[in-house]
Every structure is written in structure tokens, then in C-alpha cells.
Chains A and B, each alone.
Chain A
Amino acid sequence: MPNTDSKFSQYQEGFRELNAFWAKLDKLDADVEAFAETALSFVDEPLDRVREKIRAFEPSVSVIGQIKAGKSTLLNAIIGQPDLLPSDVNPWTSVITGLHLNNRFRPVNTRAVFRFFDRHEWDRLAATGGRLGEMAKRAGFDSEADAVRSQVDQMRQTTEERLGEEFEDLLGGSRTYPDLDKDVLDRYICYGDPDDIADGARDGIYADITKFADLYIDSDFLPKGLCLRDTPGVNDTFMMREQITLNAISDSRVCVVVLSAHQALSAMDLAILRIICSVDAREVLIFVNRIDQLAQPQVEVENIRKSVEKTLRRIGVGDGIEILFGSGYWANCALGDPGSMRQPSRDALAEFFGGDTDDPELLRQRAMEASGVFQLLRAIANRVVEGPGAAILNDLQKDLDTIIEMSETVESVAEQRMSAPPASEMTQMMLSLKIADVHDRVLKSFDERVAGVRAHLVERLDRAQDTFVESATEALQSHINAFSEAGTWTHDPTSLRMMMRTAYVSACGRLRREGESAFDTVLDGVQEILETDLGVYREGSSIEFPEQQQHKAPTILARTIALDLQGRWWRKFWRFGREHAAQKRYRATIVAETTPIIDGLMDDFFEPAVRNTRDIVEKFLIDQGAFCKAILESYETDATGKSDPDSMTKRLIA
């Protein structure tokens, strides 16, 4: 292929920020490794954890949008492999597909892994039709809930029939392939055409049962340790797929929302953006794809930009989101055979550059330039570096500071020991008991205090629910009084969402503070041991606390999308309801709608956050305990002196 290098050097250029970031991380890794060779043995484990963190760092970017927005095509352009992900004129992607670029943990002899739903997940899908189905049912759209259920049942039945005995074997399992084979991909990750399948085609025969696909792609032109995730389009008539995507939105911190230029920013797109932006610390980009299908791309692009920005401002969603324009199709033409470009797209390209060209190379360059893909690469790289990149650096820094501080203390104690005798008659056994005592004390107090936070949160959430139900029914009543049964009725669920969000965020803040106070208690306990039992003084303020996870307001809070999207339902139900019946149904509906949100918030988000913080506290305890033991050890043995921590420290910090 001609000019392959120049073609792909642009990729390196596009990902430059990310590559530079990786260079930095690699250097850090090397330094940590060098440090570990000479470091005291008690920090080996923490250092291993740090290196593990560095190598496991794989920022993930989800590409999300409506069906047929061109997500798969765009992803192919992003990785420079036009034919990798299958796409079609009909909705085609049916599975969340992670593209792991230059992944260092790629299993041996594996390029593709497909994981299947297990029986439990499958049964749940079949029983409820997914969350959307549940919501639909509650909202009074009985027919829609039935539709979802029958979709899932039917899907299950056809898949079972199609796969026969294989079906049972696949459930809950996975399959791996040593190569990325087009036929294989077609079997697992695309819908397939029912008519073709009837004719014996194999496309999509496993799609319905496949939960995730992981594809490993190695290329010198691509950054290492990046995961790009393709998702099934939302607003699919097959609502279960949409549900899978909605559930997976929280898995990536960076999201590219892909819109189709012919209908940029519909109500559905806004709903997606709302869900995504409801999560804090989100890096979001909008890519308006398929501009090759506009008659006059350049003129229309500006109009679309204005209109999209205006709408976003008006709705108050995604303030200041970067909006990019382009065409995955153009990029793929440029990567493949530019001469095969379809006429309307070619005309649009000519329009873009003020004239067509017969020179294939020039056509290629133009298509690539107009595709906007490199701007997108740069934007993605920046977002990754600014978001997850900055977060992990910060995290690593704290870990290392603590490790270094402990090492230095042990070193200096060992040095002092040369001049002064040990201050106590502590044994390892006694020390272990003391440390265990601190351990229990800290965790007990943490658990108690968190129970208080939990109770407070539950109370606030309940109150939020009550308040909303009250205000909504009141508003409904006054609407009835004012307009009788005429007119339509909506009640903005934003207030509820805000109240719940505030309660949750404030509880997370308190949890964080409880974590910090637990760290304090750990330090106090350790300090006491150090001072009274080991005769060591250290500057308490120099200790870095470990990084606690940022507990973001979860996607589940945006689940009120149900209320947003179902304005039709409010009206319908209201139109035919009579006053009292309406009130009653309205109240019951809101309660039914919000209770699972509260339950989900507690079970799926708050409790894991608590566990997470507790784990960090516990790890901190263990590290500090190991540190104390190391000091004691340094008294008991001749120990150490083999390293030059100062120089290591400087290198690491640099």
C-alpha cells in the first residue's frame, strides 16, 4: 500500500499527547523498578502494587450514540483499519466491543475473546426486559413492556433453537480466538440479517448471547494501553441492546458521543448526553459524523454547530463540550481505496475543497483531512491525559511519596541505631498485637461512623422522594383546578434528581472525610507505636494519605431519563384519568419510579463506595504495620544500607 508510513505517521501525531504521557509513565515504571531493586524489602509489596497500577492503566474511551450514527465506522477510522468492525446499512453492532490497543496483558495466543451472558443475566433479561422494560411497565406502557419482554423471549428462543446444545455450553462462558478473523467477528458482534440467517448465513448467530467482545490490536502507530469501546446504538427498536449500552456508560470516563449530521442532536442524543454528563469527572466529546452526506458540508457544519451549541446551552447540558465534525466514511476511503468513494460523498468532498480531483493521492489526502479523524484523535488523547491520566499520576505520586517516606524513616532509624541503642524491648509478636489492635480500633470506628453516614443518606433520599411526590401532586392539583381536564401535564423531575444527587454527593463527601479521619487514626496509632515502643519520631504531616476513589454521582441518577422521555405517558395517563384516580396513580407511579432508584443508589453505589474506602484504609493499615515491623526488624538485624534512597527518591519525584 503506497504511503503507508506517511498515512500512519499522522496517527502517531494525532495520539502524540497520549504517547508522551505513556513515555512519562514508562519512565516512572522503570524508575520504580530500579528503586525496588535496592529498596528495603518491606516496601516491595507496595512498590509492586505501584508498578502493577502503571502497567494495568488502560484508559477507556466509549463511543456512544444512536443506531446508525456511524460509531463502528468511526472506530475503524480511529484505529486505521477500515474493515475491522463490521457495519451495515441496518443497525448492526449488537455487542459492546472493547478494542484493546497494544495491551500488555493480552492473553497468549489471543486476539479475540467473546464473553457470554450467564443464565442468571439471561433469565433476568427475559423476565424483566431489562430496566427499560421495568420502567415502561411502571409508567403504564403495558404494551411496550410486553413488547420488550416478548423481544427478549423471542430472542432467547431463536438463539436457543439456532444454537441447539451449544447454547447451554455457551451460557456464562467465553471463547477465545488467536486471530482477528472477519467471519468470526461477524458471528459474534453483529446483528445479522434475519432473512440471511434463514438462508443459512452465519452472521450474528452468537450475537444475542454475547455480552462483551474484547479484541486485541497491536500496531506501532497506535498508542499502548488504550481501550476504545464500541457500543450498540441507542434508540434501537430492539430495546434490550439499548439497555446494555446504558448500563455500560459508567465504565468509561471518556465518552465520545457520535451524532449523525443529517439529524444532529435529537431528543435521544440529548438524553444520552444527560446521562453521561450526570456523572462527575466525565470527559465528553461530541463528534458529528457523516458530514460526507451533507450537500454542502462546510456551510452546513457551521449551522449545525450553532444549532447544537444553542440547544445544549438552552437545555443546560454539557456546558462547553467540544464539538468536532467529520466523516468516518471519508477516513476509511482514504485508508482504503479513495477511488471507491460513493458519488454523493465525493461530491460533498469536492464541495468541501472547491472542486473535484482525479489524482488518487490528492483525493486520499483530502478525504483524510476532511474526515476530521485526526482532530478527533488529538481531542481523545487530550481528554485521556487530562482526565484518567492526571488522576493516575496523582494517585501514583501519593503512593510513592508514602513509600519513600517510610523507606527514609527506616533508613534514618537504621542510621541512628549505629549511634544509639534501641529504645525499647519490643518483640515482633508484641508489635503485631499492637498493630492488630490499631487495625481493629480503626475499622470499628470507621464502620460505626459510616453507619451514621448511611442512615443520614437514606433519610435524605426518603425526604427527597416525599418532597417531590408532594410538590408534584400539589402541582397536579392546581393544574386540575386551573385547566380542568384540558391541556397537557408535565412535571419536571429535575428537582428530584437534584435533591437525590445532592444527598448522594454530600454523603460521599462525608464518606471521604470518614476515610481521612480513619487515616488519621491509623497514623496516630502508628505514631504512638513508633514513639513509645520503637523510639522513632517522624513528622506526621509529611505522610501522604492514599488516594481515595472519587465517588461520582452515578448514572443511576440520570435514570430519571424515564420521566424525561415519557412525556407522552404523563399526558396520556392524565388525559384519560379522572382527578382522584389521577392523583393516586400519579403518586403511586412516582413512588414506584423513584424507590428502585434509591435502592439502586444504596446497593450499587454507596455500599461499593464504602467497601472501596474501607479497603483503602485497610491497605494503609497494612502498609503502616509493615513499616513498623520493618523498623523493628532494622533494630534486630543489621539490615539495609544497601540502597541509596535519597537519589532514588529524587529520581522518582522528578
Chain B
Amino acid sequence: MILSRRKSEPLARDETASTASVGARKPRIMIAGEFSAGKTKLINGLIGHEVLPSNVTATSLPPIWLTSGQTGILSVGLNGEKAERSSLDDVDVEDTQFCVMALSAPILERFDIIDTPGNSDPNIDAESWERMLRYADLVVWCTNANQAWRQSEKSVWADMPSHLVGVGPLVITHADLLADEVTAERVVRRARREAGAYFASILMVSLLRDADIARVADALETLGGSIAESGEANLAVSRFAQAERAVSEDQTIHLGTIDAPPSPKVPKRVMSRRLESRDSAPDPLPEIQSEIQPEPQPLPEPEADAAFDPFEITSLDDEAPVTRPLYDIGAAPPPAEMPEQTGEAAQAAPISQDARVVNAVLEKLAVPSYVAQISGSSDDDLAKTKLLQPHKQPCRRAPGQSARDLWHDVIRGKDLNDADVVLACAEALIRQIDAEDDLVHNGSNAVDDYGEPLSLMQPSNHGGSHENRT
């Protein structure tokens, strides 16, 4: 039990440490526009290969959230139900909120990209893409040069949340179909005249030309570098990433290779996966920090040595959502905490064996060092580690932290001049507080994001589905 507890502590610190080293979650770029405007083609171009199918007729895919990670697909249903999938083929647009698609691509090291079904598609409700707006930090709007900027597009932008207006680029696609430069210039001029107010820049591109795709990527680099992370947190996505890296058995191989006996279930590919992250990712867990809210403050864990008590942990975990504001409010992680956290992680390291080696690697890769810290533990402990992972968003409210902090979290990005919005926020606050109480009392029959019964995960799971609902 003590061991478990020890493990849980470093977990939190490591999270924080990696948060600090990498920054907050990556900016999220949503690619939207009328259907058949070249969104999917653009994304495939940005990714570097054909990850998504595209079609001249309306494409019937739900929104796809592309995030860096080990290849995998998770679908999130309208009812919040999640399922891992092997392909996008059998995904039902009607019932699916969106799919998370993890893969490795250079651009995903910088951004998450959200593909959306086209606007004006008579077979897909606009709601199906509009609901992704709340997660977006920046919207790239694709419009076809041949039929650029129509009222159905303008009316979308007239209603766009204000923090997304004037931030992203208007990408006019299919320049290759225009007669010449003069023609293209006329289209751009009109777009500037009629749509200029909604965008930070206007790009005329041919998706057939790599150079043009690179221009879009450059523009995103420029625009995306300075944007506020205004999009809402989404636990499903961050957990999917987390599952890949932490919950997935892959991680155990690290342990095994370091010193624990390898679990028989361990897939072999883990090493390569690790290599992969070394190649590409400075931060394999970008989402986790901002969304799962590791406690950024030094853990004032009063009963660090107390006997392990699932209920107690559960209750601590309940507070996870409460701590979120500290991270989310400030879009970027507080840099001041960075050294502090790292220091703590380093301090904690000696607890485990082989810490030097592992920490060295971890510092470089920003892999959560709990992996190292629990090394040397038994299989039994490993199992516990898995159970405890959710706690890495550890949680407990700092003494100074209060309902007020929670309130700040709730109102983030909301327009408080609108009385109705304020009411809705109050509602949300009350629900969250109620939810904590509920959890304290019914913490035992929870199911994790993948349907596994994991009572210890329940609190954060609860937070997650809550997130999805609002």
C-alpha cells in the first residue's frame, strides 16, 4: 500500500514535470468549411500521407480528431460511449460525436488537427461539425475557389464564437482550376472584401501542389504559435493518448526492460514506440497536463504515508476537476513551476532503482517518470500502478483552492455579459460540486474510458463524461 502511494505521488510530479517541459496541450486546429471544399485533402497534405478518405460527393465521416501518438482509433459516441476501432470504415456518422485518431506525423507534434464533416451537407446535420467548435483554438476555413465564400459560409462565421474570429486563415482551395493568376487575384480580392474581417489571413492554394500545402503549414505555424488555447478540454482525447502511453501495457515493457519481470501480455512493439516518441515527440503526453490537471502545486499530501485506502484515494481524486482551473485558466503552464517540479521529480527519483538511467531518458523524452519510479515493483504493483494512473491528475484541492477556482474554470472562455450564459455556468458549477459528493459515496462501480471496471478511475472518468456532455 505504501508502495502504491509512493507511486502515485511521483506520478503527479512527473505529469507536472512534463507539463512544464513541454508547455500546455498543443494548439488545436480545426479544419472546416463547406463539404467538398478540400478539407480532407488539405489534412492529408499536412499529415504527409492519405490518412483520411476523401470523395467528390459528401463524405460521411464524423469529425476526426487527429492527435500525435501511437496509431489507433477511438470513437466517441453521442452517448459518450467509447470504442477502439481498427478503421474508420464502419463508423456511424449519426451516432458518433467524433473519432480520435492517433498517429505519428511531424505536424501533429505541433498541433492537434480536427477534421470536420462539411457544412451544407444535406445528409449531415450542421450540428455534427459545429459541436467541435468548442474544442478548437483556431479554425481553418476551406472554401472552393470556384464557388468561394457563399452566404451559407458567411452565416456560419457571423455566428462564430468571438475568440475564433480573426484568428485562423481562409484557405481558398482548387486554385489549379482557375484560369490564371489574374483570375485568382480577383477571387482573393473578393474574399478579402467580403470575408476579410473573419480571418487573420487568406491563402489561395492548389492542394495538388506540395509547395502550397507547405504554405498552409507555415501559416498555421505562424498563426498557431500565438493563439490562446481557448478550446475546451476533452478528457476522451487526452485519455486516449494516455492509454497509449501510460495505461496501455506497452508501458510495462519499459518497466520490464528496466528491471521488473516482463509481463506475458506485453506487446513487443513498445520499444519501437518509445523510439518513435523519441524521434518525434518532445512531449508524448501533451494533452494530459492541461486536461487531466495534475496538481501543479507542490503536493501538500498530508497523509502521504497513511495506509492505502481506495476510498480515500477516490475522494481525493474526486477533486481532480476542481484543480483543473489552475491549469486551464492560464492556457500556458506556469513557467515558474517548471524548475520546481523537475526538482521534485528528481528528488523522488532516488526512491526507485536505476533512477539515473531512467530519469536521463525521461528528461529527454519527457516520458512520465513514474514509469521509472515504479520500476522494481512486483507484478502486483504493476497492476496497482495501472489502477492508479488516473490519479496522476492528482487532484486534491490545494488549501487555498476553492469553489472559486472551480468557478474560474467553468467560466473560462464564456461570455459573462450574457445572463443566460452565466446561469448555465452556475448550473455547471453546481453540478460539478454535486458530482464530487456523489463520487465519494458511489465510487465503486465505475468503468473507465474503455469499459474496464476500474473503481479508482471513477472520479476522473466521471469528470470526463461530464465534460462530454456539456
Binds B, one of A65-73, A318-326, A640-648: A65-73
Q: Given A89-B186, A147-B158, A568-B159, are A293 and B123 neighbors across the interface (CB < 8 Å)?
A: no
Contact, CB under 8 Å: A270 / B122: yes
* Residue from A66, A237, A239, A242 whose CB has the most chain B CB atoms within 10 Å: A237
Q: Which residues of B contact A66 (CB under 8 A)?
A: 147, 150
Which residue of the partner chain, among B34, B126, B179, B424, contacts A89 with CB atoms under 8 Å? Answer: B179
Taking A193-B186, A195-B189 as contacts, is the C-beta distance between A67 and B120 under 8 angstroms?
Answer: no
Q: Is residue B309 within 8 Å, beta carbon to beta carbon, of the partner chain?
A: no
Q: Is the CB of B176 within 8 A of A571?
A: no
Residue contact B147 to A68, C-beta cutoff 8 Å = yes
* CB of B268 closer than 8 Å to a CB of A: no
Looking at the complex, which one of B55, B151, B174, B193 makes contact with A194 (CB distance below 8 Å)?
B193
Within 8 A of B (CB), among A225-247: 235-237, 239, 242
Contacts of B37 in A (CB 8 A): 263
**Docked pose: A133 CA to B152 CA in angstroms:** 15
Q: How many residues of chain B get a CB closer than 8 Å to chain A's CBs? A: 48
Nearest CB on A from B369, distance (A):
40
- Residue B380 at the A interface, CB < 8 A? no
A142 to chain B, nearest CB (A): 11
Q: Are A239 and B174 also in contact (CB < 8 A) when A263-B34, A315-B122 are?
A: no
Residue numbers in A under 8 Å from B174 (CB-CB): 262, 293
Compute how far the CA of A571 lies from the CA of B148 in the bound complex, rounded to whole angstroms: 27
Distance to closest chain A CB from B206 (angstroms): 10
Determine whether the beta carbon of B144 is less than 8 Å from that of A262: yes
A307 x B58 contact (CB < 8 A): yes
Contact between B149 and A237 (Cβ–Cβ < 8 Å)?
A: yes
Are B420's CB and A236's CB within 8 A?
no
**A67 with B150: CB separation less than 8 A:** yes
- Distance of B37 from chain A, by nearest CB (Å): 8
CA distance A90 to B189 in the complex (A): 10
Known: A239-B151, A344-B177. A90 touches B187 (CB 8 A): yes
B190 contacts A236, C-beta separation under 8 Å: no
Per the bound structure, the CA–CA distance linking A69 and B187 in Å amounts to 15
Q: Complex: how many Å from CA A195 to CA B424?
A: 46
Please name the residue on chain B nearest to A484 by beta carbon: B427
Out of A194, A237, A314, A485, name the residue touching B154 (CB < 8 Å).
Answer: A237
Complex CA gap A571/B36 in Å reads 25
Find chain B residues with CB under 8 A from A242 CB: 151
- In this assembly, does B178 line the interface, its C-beta being within 8 Å of a C-beta of chain A? yes
Question: Is the C-beta of A260 less than 8 angstroms from some C-beta in chain B?
Answer: yes
Asked if B265 lies at the interface with its beta carbon under 8 angstroms from chain A, I say: no
* B contact residues around A314 at 8 Å (CB): 123
Q: Are A235 and B158 in contact (CB under 8 A)?
A: no
B87 within 8 A of A: no
Asked if B452 is an interface residue, CB under 8 A from chain A, the answer is no
| B56 touching A304, Cβ below 8 Å | yes
Q: Tell me whether A311 and B56 are in contact (CB under 8 A).
A: no
Cross-chain contact of A293 among B177, B418, B427 (Cβ < 8 A): B177
Question: From A311, which residue of chain B is reached at the shortest CB distance?
Answer: B122
Q: Check: B276 CB closer than 8 A to any chain A CB.
A: no
CB-based nearest A residue for B178: A89
Chain B's nearest CB lies how many Å from the CB of A301? 10
* Residues of chain A lying within 8 A (CB to CB) of residue B57: 264, 303-304, 307
Q: What are the residues of chain A within 8 A of B178 when measuring CB–CB?
A: 89
B327 at the interface (CB under 8 A from A): no
* A121 at the B interface (CB under 8 A): no
With A143-B158, A144-B155 as contacts: A266 and B121 at CB distance below 8 Å: yes
Smallest CB-CB separation from B144: which chain A residue? A262
Considering the complex, give the chain A residue whose CB is closest to the CB of B182.
Answer: A89
For residue A108, CB closer than 8 A to chain B, the reply is no
With A242-B151, A260-B147 already in contact, 9 other A-B pairs whose C-beta atoms are closer than 8 Å: A89-B145, A89-B178, A89-B183, A263-B120, A263-B144, A294-B56, A314-B123, A567-B126, A568-B126
10 residue pairs of the A-B complex, CB under 8 angstroms, read: A67-B147, A67-B150, A89-B178, A143-B158, A236-B151, A263-B120, A265-B122, A294-B56, A303-B57, A567-B125
Residues of A within 8 A of B (CB): 66-69, 88-90, 143-144, 147, 193-195, 235-237, 239, 242, 260-270, 290, 293-294, 300, 303-304, 307, 311, 314-315, 342, 344, 485-486, 488, 567-568, 571-572, 576-578
Q: Which residues of B contact A (CB under 8 A)?
A: 34-37, 55-58, 120-123, 125-127, 130, 144-152, 154-155, 158-159, 174, 176-179, 183, 186-187, 189-190, 193-194, 418, 420-421, 423-424, 427, 469
